Amino acid sequence: MKVFALIFLSQLFFLSEAYSQVSLDIFITHKKGIDKDLILTSELQSSERIVGKELRVLEMRNGIRVEIGAEFVEDWSEVIGPSSHVRLLGGLWGPQRKLWLNFEDLDKRAYLGEEFSFTFSDDIDQIVEIRVKPWL
């Protein structure tokens, strides 16, 4: 009976993990002309509902492209349901479709409701700041 209960609970955990959803509030700021007197700033804000490991694409008018998603990080201290710990997936691409930043390489993690941010700066006077806040 204990074995059956253990198998049932483990299947329930993996099933809830597979179909769990997370919402992301995303704020992208692109600043150009940092080394000059004039700074051009573009912003994009979005709230996205992510199911599983899917990626959402956000593209700014200037060609900056962000593919973003999230996955729950396994936390064995929480017995039932998905973890409250989230890892960011995706990447940041420049106007010529050159990969500027891979989010998986950064291994950014946060708890639900906790905002985290990172900044990318290239050699030609521009900065891209991305802030993400995961929630259910």
And the tokens for 12? 């329930």
Q: In the predicted model, is pLDDT for residue 68 greater than 50?
A: yes
Domain boundaries, the chain: 2-135
The three-point CA angle 16-18-22 to 5° equals 85
**Per-residue confidence (pLDDT) for residue 132, from 0 to 100:** 95
Q: d(Cα 123, Cα 68) in Å, to the nearest integer?
A: 24
Q: Are 53 and 89 within 8 A, CB to CB?
A: yes
Sheet containing strand 126-135, edge to edge, reads 40-51, 21-32, 126-135, 116-121
pLDDT at 15 over 50: no
- pTM (global) more than 0.85: no
Amino acid 99: pLDDT: 92
Q: How high is the pLDDT of residue 49?
A: 94
Whether residue 132 contacts residue 50, with contact meaning beta carbons closer than 8 Å, is answered with: no
Q: Give per-residue pLDDT as tens, 105-122.
A: 988 888 899 998 989 987
In this predicted structure, what is the pLDDT of residue 8?
A: 58
Question: Distance between CA atoms of 2 and 30, rounded to whole angstroms?
Answer: 56
Alpha helices in the chain (DSSP H): 2-18, 103-106
| Amino acid code (one letter) for 39 | I
**Residues of the chain with pLDDT > 70: what percent?**
79
Q: Are 53 and 67 in contact (CB under 8 A)?
A: no
